[in-house]
């Protein structure tokens, strides 16, 4: 699991000190390793708390208007010249008053719109951090196993720096995800199988001599990848004027993003950049009904996650065996949040509701999140009188088919005033 080509090349100005096992706390050097040699648990980046504690709001605010303003809280990329990046981040935090009114939410409701990133999903954050670390660790080819958005982002990052890439996807992805990957050049391997099959194959490829030079962003350099998601949490706090919202609703595939938004809030409190809300913050998770192994475990009170075979239109979230599922469960239970799931009709309605009330056109994952937000309000799990942030993680243009059959021109007329009048446009 450790590449022989990958000595610790992480910059000495990085606050990261080690990789630590999330299950047994064993520690390892900052290399390309993702699983614990003792217990096979997932590894996570560990930081020097004394170094993090020196970071100030002023220092962050003086940084670039992208995720690198948080470089002092990330494992790699402190030196701008070393970055492999499209400079994602600092995406809009949209006040969603009309959505709140429709759902009966009386406190401020915000949509963090990460479809505004360069390849139109939050994956640009994780890829920028992972590939910057990968280059520092000596890798010369970039790869991933993807449900769609990761494919776009890895191919685009590789194109920006002129590094070869090889991206693996399930062969049944939406055309809007395939074309937006293939256009960047690079190798694109469509596999007749599910994402979980693709991921398993990548886990085997990464062990071969032929792939020794290759960083799979969500396999051998996964600990660095995961840290990129923290920047969504940092940004929300900064954009709220250095405050943490009472409640967040986060879509889940592997469950990693949810755990890292929670980690980001914890870090900001620990290093004294923000105060925690009086009652703490609550983390809520959203899955689709076609792929809900994490939400199901919560609902049935299980300690283990039972993998599923995913179905349904929210393909970017279709991970049947979620790597961070247990940690997402832990975060939701610890903070007093909840999880729910939405079926395909509810997802389409969620996409349209968000579009109609905020002007944000989300992909199906955003529809999942909005549909689950609605359910959480209706079931009383989410407090409508407490400030809430929901995360839109991807762009509607990539999953046009989801709503294409439901919307279209409201009128079709000849180009004349009479036709306009006949159609009722002048009355
Ligand atoms: C990958 C993805 C997610 C979830 O990411 P995890 O960290 O694996 O849970 C959410 N939304 C979109 C659009 C994605 O592409
Ligand atoms: Zn371990």
Atom of ligand 1 nearest to the CA of 251: 10
Please report the pLDDT score of residue 11 as a whole number: 80
Residues 262 and 202 both lie in one domain: no
Domain boundary among 203, 225, 247: 225
150 CA distance to ligand 1 centroid (A)? 9
**Residue of 174, 218, 257 with the most ligand 1 atoms within 8 Å of its CB, for mutation:** 257
Domain boundary among 174, 208, 225: 225
How many domains, in total, are found in the chain?
Answer: 2
Instruction: Give residue ranges with CB within 6 A of ligand 1.
Output: 121, 123, 149, 251-257, 316-317, 363, 365, 393-394
Report which bound ligand comes closest to the CA of 114: 1
- Cβ 60 vs Cβ 324: under 8 Å: no
d(CA 368, CA 11): 39
CA distances from 320 to 196, 208, 308 (A): 7, 25, 5
Report which bound ligand comes closest to the CA of 122: 1
Q: What is the CATH number of the domain that holds 237?
A: 3.40.50.1100
Report which bound ligand comes closest to the CA of 363: 1
Residues 323 and 335 both lie in one domain: yes
Residues 161 and 108 both lie in one domain: no
Residues 116 and 132 both lie in one domain: no
Residues 20 and 99 both lie in one domain: no
Which residue CA neighbors atom 8 of ligand 1 most closely? 254
Structural domain contains residue 35: yes
CA distances from 179 to 109, 164, 259, 379 (A): 34, 18, 31, 40
Please report the pLDDT score of residue 8 as a whole number: 55
E-strand spans in 25-171?
27-28, 43-47, 93-95, 109-113, 141-145, 165-170
44 CA distance to ligand 2 centroid (A)? 11
Report which bound ligand comes closest to the CA of 322: 1
25 CA distance to ligand 2 centroid (A)? 6
Residues 113 and 195 both lie in one domain: no
Which of 322, 152, 324, 130 lies closest to 227 in space, CA to CA? 130
The sign one gets for the Cα dihedral 392, 397, 398, 402 is positive
Residues 271 and 383 both lie in one domain: yes
412 CA distance to ligand 1 centroid (A)? 38
Atom of ligand 1 nearest to the CA of 394: 13
Please report the pLDDT score of residue 2 as a whole number: 41
Residues 393 and 345 both lie in one domain: yes
Instruction: Provide the residue range defining the domain that includes 250.
Output: 93-120+229-404
Residue pLDDT, tens place only, 218-262 = 999 999 999 999 999 999 999 999 999 999 999 999 999 999 999
Structural domain contains residue 305: yes
Please report the pLDDT score of residue 1 as a whole number: 40
Structural domain contains residue 386: yes
Structural domain contains residue 413: no
29 CA distance to ligand 2 centroid (A)? 14
- Cβ 249 vs Cβ 376: under 8 Å: yes
Residue pLDDT, tens place only, 209-218 = 999 999 999 9
Residue pLDDT, tens place only, 357-383 = 999 999 999 999 999 999 999 999 999
Structural domain contains residue 7: no
Domain boundary among 225, 260, 290: 225
Residues 265 and 352 both lie in one domain: yes
Residues 262 and 198 both lie in one domain: no
Which of 270, 274, 261 lies closest to 232 in space, CA to CA? 261
Residues 152 and 241 both lie in one domain: no
Residues 189 and 250 both lie in one domain: no
Atom of ligand 1 nearest to the CA of 150: 15
- Give pLDDT < 50 ranges for the chain: 1-7
**Residue of 111, 115, 147, 149 with the most ligand 1 atoms within 8 Å of its CB, for mutation:** 149
Q: Of all residues in the chain, what percent carry a pLDDT higher than 70?
A: 98
Atom of ligand 1 nearest to the CA of 260: 7
Which residue CA neighbors atom 3 of ligand 1 most closely? 253
Structural domain contains residue 168: yes
Report which bound ligand comes closest to the CA of 41: 2
Please report the pLDDT score of residue 7 as a whole number: 43
């Amino acid at each position: 699991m450790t590449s022989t080509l990958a000595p610790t090349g992480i910059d000495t100005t990085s606050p990261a000190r080690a990789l630590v096992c999330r299950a047994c706390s064993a520690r390892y050097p900052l290399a390309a390793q993702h699983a614990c040699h003792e217990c096979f648990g997932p590894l996570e980046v560990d930081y020097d708390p004394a170094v993090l504690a020196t970071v100030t709001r002023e220092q962050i605010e003086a940084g670039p208007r992208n995720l690198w303003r948080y470089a002092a809280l990330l494992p790699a990329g402190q030196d701008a010249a070393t970055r492999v990046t499209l400079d994602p981040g600092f995406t809009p935090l949209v006040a969603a008053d009309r959505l709140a009114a429709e759902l009966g939410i009386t406190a401020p409701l915000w949509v963090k719109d990460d479809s505004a990133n360069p390849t139109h999903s939050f994956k640009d954050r994780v890829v920028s951090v992972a590939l910057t670390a990968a280059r520092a660790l000596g890798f010369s080819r970039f790869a991933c196993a993807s449900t769609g958005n990761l494919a776009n982002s890895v191919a685009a990052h590789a194109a920006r720096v002129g590094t070869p890439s090889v991206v693996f996807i399930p062969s049944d992805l939406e055309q809007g995800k395939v074309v937006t990957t293939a256009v960047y050049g690079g190798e694109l391997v469509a596999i007749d199988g599910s994402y979980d099959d693709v991921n398993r194959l990548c886990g085997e490829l990464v062990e071969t001599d032929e792939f020794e030079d290759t960083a799979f962003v969500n396999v051998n350099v996964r600990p660095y990848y995961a840290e990129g998601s923290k920047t969504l949490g940092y940004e929300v706090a900064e954009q709220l004027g250095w405050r943490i919202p009472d409640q967040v609703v986060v879509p889940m595939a592997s469950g990693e993003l949810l755990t890292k938004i929670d980690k980001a809030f914890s870090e900001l409190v620990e290093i004294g950049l923000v105060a925690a809300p009086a009652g703490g913050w609550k983390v809520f998770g959203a899955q689709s009904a076609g792929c809900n192994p994490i939400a199901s475990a919560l609902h049935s009170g299980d300690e283990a996650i039972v993998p599923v075979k995913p179905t349904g239109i929210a393909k970017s979230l279709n991970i049947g065996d979620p790597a961070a599922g247990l940690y997402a469960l832990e975060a939701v239970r610890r903070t007093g949040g909840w999880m729910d799931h939405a079926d395909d009709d509810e997802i389409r309605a969620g996409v349209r509701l968000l579009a109609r009330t905020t002007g944000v056109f989300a992909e199906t994952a955003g529809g999942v999140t909005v549909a689950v937000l609605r359910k959480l309000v209706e079931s009383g799990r989410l407090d409508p009188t407490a400030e809430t942030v929901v995360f839109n993680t991807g762009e509607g243009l990539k999953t046009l088919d989801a709503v294409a059959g439901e919307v279209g021109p409201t009128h079709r007329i000849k180009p004349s005033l009479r036709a306009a009048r006949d159609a009722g446009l002048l009355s």
